[in-house]
A and B are shown apart, each in its own frame.
Chain A
Amino acid sequence: MIIDYGMGNLTSVQRALEEVGAACFISDLPRDIKDAGSIVLPGVGAFKEGMKNLKSSGMADVIVEATNEGVPLLGICLGMQLLATKGYEGGETDGLNLIPGTIREMQAQAGERIPHIGWNEINHCQDHLMYEGIKDLTDFYFVHSYHFDNDDNHAVTTTPYAGGFTSSVAHNNIWGTQFHPEKSSKAGLKLLENFINIPFNV
């Protein structure tokens, strides 16, 4: 199930998941989360607004319950950021607190521009199912101004920009990517395929 909370490119995510063989649907009903085999939290937007929508619709609590029960979750871009403990886009806001960390604004280094827009590589910091069949240094598509500031245990890849930042995270059945796999061509589709093949209750 793809969570509709008013933020983002839902149809692109749906189309890409279908392309790799997933049966999926878009819903804004909390009760649908309980029945879903796995959930995707997409997202284009600002942290504060995203969290507000998740809470007011009653989705936030149900997402946390479902993942605690072992339902796999993939957060994409803003959806990945919302997994964090808190964020600072639009003012300090509590996140879903599923993966410890803070969402902070990126700081450009010499010669860099923010937002970080375009294709950039990933460096694996641990072997992970997420990147099965995907080589180190593969390019993915990023479009963001904030990043996930976290401890090393949950970082799966980093990407060299703004001093280096965490470009994907994982904690048990919960995965998150700062880049957009649904817009990262073949490598992105492979990652989505890896996600839909997560064994339940890993």
Chain B
Amino acid sequence: MLKTRVIPTLLWKRPGLVKGIGFDSWRRVGTVLPAIKVYNMRDVDELILVDINAYSEGVEPDYEEIAEFTQESFVPMTVGGGVTDVDHFKKLLRVGADKVALNSVIYDKPELISEAANNFGKQCVVASIDYIKTSDGNYQCCSHSGSQIKDRHPVEWAKELESRGAGEILLTSVDKDGTMEGYDYDITKQVTEALKIPVIASGGAGNYEHMAKVVTDSGAAAVAAASIFHFTEQTPLKAKEHMATQGIPVRLIK
């Protein structure tokens, strides 16, 4: 049976690793390489590494640095940040990314999703969607690390990206991010129900029950989390052990 993945997210704000709240108030939480080594030693399911400044600064991914990171990882890594054309995508795969996440760029250039899917197969194309919940209860997508609001609803946008060839959706609540008060179960459910491709729930995990709930109640294929692993004693393995008690299939290393 396919296992539900628990994925630590590494936010890379050169030169270090950071974690914020609501995509703001960034705190340094160490450096990337040791974190990758530790997560590999603990045999995590997968890692997500996002260069959070590259796109806004208009620079390409730092391939050399990323190669050093991926070389320490014997589990899959999704890499995002700074990709604006299919050549960047290809270079990231070459330096060891297993999947590439696209976010801000696809609002202006949605065809990049299909180009990448046609060239490299849709399985490595991760469409990343950040969204906020507005005061009247509506949802809107946003880009540039949450700083620009887009006139798009996450469900509609996810459907469009799926139809363009995205292989997976990384769905992140900006409001919940870093709060550790739980995922946005409602919109996550709406997105998973509208799609046929896997959805990674992200933003808000504060305990293992949050993770189990977004899988069982909202249909997420994987859960991503950062603060819970950076700032608490909770670990991906313990999360999976808890999820297993809830009947969720997970990969437990024997």
**Of B10-18, B120-128, B183-191, which binds chain A?**
B120-128
In the complex the two chains form, what is the Cα distance from A8 to B120 in whole Å?
8
A189 at the interface (CB under 8 A from B): yes
Q: Which of B2, B93, B99, B124 contacts A116 (CB 8 A)?
A: B2
A11 in contact with B96 (CB, 8 Å): yes
B interface size (C-beta, 8 A): 40
CB distance from A194 to the nearest CB of B (A): 16
Which of B3, B70, B121, B124 lies in contact with A120, CB distance below 8 A?
B3
A11-B67, A118-B45, A120-B3 given; A108·B74 CB < 8 A: no
How many A-B pairs fall under 8 Å by CB?
Answer: 121
The reply to whether A12 and B121 contact each other, CB–CB distance below 8 Å, is no
B221 at interface by CB-CB < 8 Å: yes
**B39 nearest CB across to chain A (Å):** 11
Is A125 on the interface with B (CB-CB < 8 A)?
A: no
Indicate which residue in B74, B98, B99, B251 contacts A119 across the interface (CB closer than 8 Å).
B251
Say whether A45 contacts B121, CB under 8 Å. yes
Q: Do A11 and B71 contact each other (CB < 8 Å), given the known contacts A90-B118, A141-B76? A: yes
| Chain A interface residue count, Cβ-Cβ cutoff 8 angstroms | 43
- Counting chain B CB atoms within 10 Å of each CB, the highest count among A46, A118, A141 belongs to A118
- Per DSSP, chain A at the interface is mixed
CB <8 Å contact, A143 and B251: no
Please determine whether B5 and A113 come into contact, CB atoms closer than 8 angstroms.
Answer: no
Among B74, B93, B119, B197, chain A packs the most CB atoms within 10 A around the CB of B74
Residues of B1-29 at the interface with A, using a CB-CB cut-off of 8 Å, are 1-5
Which A residues lie within 8 Å of B74 (CB)?
Answer: 16, 19, 182-186, 188-189
Contact indicator B2/A180 (Cβ below 8 Å):
no
B43, B67, B96, B123: most-surrounded residue (chain A CB, <10 A)? B123
B80-97 residues at the A interface, CB under 8 angstroms: 90, 93-97
* A44-B197 in contact (CB<8A): no
Q: Is A161 a contact of B121 with CB atoms below 8 Å?
A: no
CB-CB < 8 A to A8: which residues of B? 93-94
Once the chains are docked, how many angstroms separate the CA of A7 from the CA of B90? 8
Q: How distant is the Cα of A160 from the Cα of B96 in the complex, in angstroms?
A: 28
Is B75 engaged at the interface, CB distance under 8 Å to the other chain?
yes
Is A129 in the interface zone, CB < 8 Å from B?
Answer: no
* Residues of chain A contacted by B167 (CB below 8 angstroms): 115, 117, 143, 145
Question: Closest approach, in angstroms, between the C-beta of B48 and any C-beta of chain A?
Answer: 13
Q: Flag whether B222 is at the interface (Cβ < 8 A).
A: yes
Point out residues on B near A: beta carbons under 8 Å. 1-5, 40, 43, 45-46, 67, 70-71, 73-76, 90, 93-99, 118-124, 167-168, 195-198, 221-222, 251
Q: What would be 16 A-B contacts, judged by CB atoms less than 8 Å apart?
A: A9-B94, A10-B94, A49-B119, A108-B196, A115-B122, A115-B198, A118-B2, A118-B45, A120-B2, A141-B75, A143-B123, A143-B167, A144-B121, A145-B122, A161-B2, A183-B98
The 5 closest A-B pairs by CB, nearest first: A115-B123, A12-B96, A119-B251, A119-B3, A183-B76
